[in-house]
Structure 1
Amino acid sequence: MAIRKEIQEVAAKQFVAFREEILKSLKEIKETEDCSNKQLKELKEKQENTVRQVKEINKMAQDLKIELEKLKKTQMEEIVERKNLGKKTGTTEVSITNRLQEMEERISGVEGAMEEIDVSVKENVKSKKFLTKTIQEIQDNLKRQNLRIIGIEEKEDSLLQGPENIFNKTIEENFPKLKESPIRIQETYRTPNKLDQKRKSSQHIIIKTISIQNKEKILKAEREKGQVTYNGKPIRITPDFSTETMKARRAWTDNMQALREHRCQPRLLYPAKLSVLRDGENKIFNDKNKFQQYLHTNPALQKTLEGKIQPKKTSYFQENTGNN
């Protein structure tokens, strides 16, 4: 009895210590998230201001361009009038000369202002790209421990009293071995499909695990199983990323299919890098521009992917002022 009581006391102490460790970890994670969310909010405000400034500057540039065209047209009319008058009288009218000089000064001033605007636009565009990239990195970092479950109808929430029980049932149905060492989660909730808001589909379930290791454990089990189901119906479990990163990952889809056919063993690395194995050499590409540069050195591979890497054309204004 004494030994049994001692074992129970040790177990109780271990449980308390483990519980305190978990609570401490959760507190640290929460503090980090609060700090990141505050930073994210500030960056988004800066990004919105930058976009607004670029739009205003572009409008000023358009107005100045119209004014410049009017001035040049008036200048040409004055020059023609001056020439015609000179032919008739054999002299040059001083008032016309003065008007032309004034016109040239105004044109020079407008052209100078347009040069300054061009520099300002370039600086703002550079700032916007930096802010967009920073926001994307922070969002992805906040979502690093998250999973996204796609394809489960929202009516299941009321049947099982919330997304957390849906997650537990999914684990039990597909990965029974993982129940031996329970996956600890911080939070579960539904979120809209931001990539295709017009599409009528169930909201995705976001699972915020307590660690990246827990998330990777589930993703590994999902890859090994092949097809994950809920009540026998196919669903998907994926990592959770920012909207921009999800778009970047989706942009590789057609290329990856063609690369598989070419036996290049493509893989998507975190967050949206393409890995290609060719002739025993592993190549990693951060974006499509780098990938296209690589294709120029591989005509055979370029021919295979022909028509599948057409870049989307955007106007200068759309590129520099589009929402993110």
Structure 2
Amino acid sequence: MARRQHSISKHIKKQTMIASTTCQIKESKSFPNEDTILELPDAEYKKLIYRMLQDIRDDLRNEIRQSTEKAKEHTDKAVEEIKRIIQEHSGKINKLQESIERQHSEIQKINSKITELDNSIGSQRSRIEQLECRLGELEDKAIDTNIAEEKSDKRIKKNEETLRIMWDSIKKNNLHVIGVPEQGGITENTDRIVEDLLAENFPDIMKDKRISIQDAHRTPYKIDPKRKSPRHIIIKLAKTKDKEKNLKTARDKRKVSYKGESIRISSDYSAETVESRKQWDDIYRALKEKNCQTRIIYPAKLSQI
């Protein structure tokens, strides 16, 4: 009887301990201490272990669910933030893309223009090369033309000089009288005037009648009513030495006149020789004012006497 009571009492203690342990686990959801667990029977120990595993599984599930919810919440927030950022920058990206497309289009246009310019430059370069070639040909022709013109000018000058010499040779026996008043216009007896003029100024020469006058006429032949000064007289002598005698006598006499009018007698030259001699006039007068004895010798050279 005493054993039975002891066994019941022992059993009640165990049950009380198990209930107390189970209550502690449920309330605290923590593991009991080691001594309490070791005192449990096998079946209760297994149940305790099973319940503990279930609690751990439930806790893990709760933690996983909470972590998943938090991760999902963070993920949703991140996705929303990313969407917001994308929406904010999508306009800028579109504008940037449009700008890039415009710039690309402009670059294509510029490249097209560059190609056109290259083609134009190429054609212009070809044109310039052709023009340079043509210019070179023209320069060569110009050089040839200049050479030909120089030769032609030399020939013309030589011909003019030859013509001048020929005219001067034709006129070498002529005397040129300036300042003799005209008498009677076209009916004037020029030969008579010349004889009187020579007799008045060169009586010694004319006394022997050794001077032969071949021709005497006024120049120019046509009378100009507007001309105030008398026309010049050209006297053609038979010999050059007769002309030189008259000129020397006129120079020695220094003053030659006709019926009281001062006249001037000189050699008769071609127009070219007269023009060349005129270029010495200013120098001749300046030297004459300084009492220098100078004269212009043929064809147009200044000589000191």
TM range, normalised to the smaller chain? 0.5 to 0.7
Contact 1:149 1:206 in 2 (8 A): yes
Secondary structure at 1:155 match in 2: coil
Q: 2:217 aligns with which of 169, 173, 189?
A: 189
Q: Distance in 2 between matches of 1:146 and 1:127?
A: 29
Corresponding residue of 1:164: 191
Corresponding residue of 2:240: 212
Corresponding residue of 2:166: 138
Q: How many corresponding residue pairs? A: 190
Equivalent position amino acid for 1:166 in 2: I
Q: Distance in 2 between matches of 1:85 and 1:118?
A: 50
Q: Which has the higher helix share?
A: 2
Corresponding residue of 1:178: 205
Q: Distance in 1 between matches of 2:286 and 2:130?
A: 63
Q: Distance in 1 between matches of 2:256 and 2:279?
A: 24
Q: Distance in 2 between matches of 1:264 and 1:96?
A: 70
**In the TM superposition, what is the alpha-carbon distance from 1:201 to its structure 2 partner?**
2.4
**In the TM superposition, what is the alpha-carbon distance from 1:178 to its structure 2 partner?**
2.0
TM-score (norm 2): 0.55
| Structure with the greater alpha carbon radius of gyration | 2
In structure 2, relative to structure 1, the CA distance for the partners of 1:226 and 1:86 (3 Å cut) is farther
**In the TM superposition, what is the alpha-carbon distance from 1:139 to its structure 2 partner?**
0.7
Q: Distance in 1 between matches of 2:141 and 2:215?
A: 54
Of the structure 1 ranges 104-113 and 240-249, higher mean CA displacement relative to structure 2 is found in 104-113
1:118-142 Cα offsets, whole Å, 9 max, x none, are 2122111111111111111111111
Equivalent position amino acid for 1:165 in 2: R
Percent of residue pairs identical: 37
Secondary structure at 1:206 match in 2: strand
In structure 2, relative to structure 1, the CA distance for the partners of 1:101 and 1:226 (3 Å cut) is closer
Corresponding residue of 1:24: none
The answer to whether residue 92 in structure 2 is matched with residue 88 in structure 1 is no
Q: Distance in 2 between matches of 1:169 and 1:85?
A: 102
**In the TM superposition, what is the alpha-carbon distance from 1:169 to its structure 2 partner?**
0.6
Q: Distance in 1 between matches of 2:150 and 2:129?
A: 32
1:179-237 Cα offsets, whole Å, 9 max, x none, are 221121111111129xxxx8542221111001011111211221222221112111111
In structure 2, relative to structure 1, the CA distance for the partners of 1:90 and 1:165 (3 Å cut) is closer
Q: Distance in 2 between matches of 1:133 and 1:85?
A: 71
TM-score (norm 1): 0.52
Q: Distance in 2 between matches of 1:199 and 1:158?
A: 15
Q: Distance in 2 between matches of 1:121 and 1:86?
A: 53
In structure 2, relative to structure 1, the CA distance for the partners of 1:99 and 1:233 (3 Å cut) is closer
Secondary structure at 1:247 match in 2: helix
Corresponding residue of 2:138: 110
1:94-134 Cα offsets, whole Å, 9 max, x none, are 54444333233222222222222221221111111111111
Q: 1:238 aligns with which of 238, 246, 266?
A: 266
Q: Distance in 2 between matches of 1:158 and 1:91?
A: 82
Any stretches of 5+ residues in structure 2 without a counterpart?
1-109
In structure 2, relative to structure 1, the CA distance for the partners of 1:184 and 1:102 (3 Å cut) is same
Q: 1:154 aligns with which of 152, 168, 182?
A: 182
Contact 1:157 1:163 in 2 (8 A): no
Secondary structure at 2:150 match in 1: helix
Contact 1:85 1:91 in 2 (8 A): no
Q: Distance in 2 between matches of 1:164 and 1:157?
A: 14
1:159-185 Cα offsets, whole Å, 9 max, x none, are 7x5211111111222222222211211
Corresponding residue of 2:129: 101
RMSD in angstroms over aligned alpha carbons? 3.0
Any stretches of 5+ residues in structure 1 without a counterpart?
1-83, 278-324
Greater RCO between the two (CA within 8 Å, min separation 6)? 1
Q: Distance in 1 between matches of 2:153 and 2:256?
A: 43
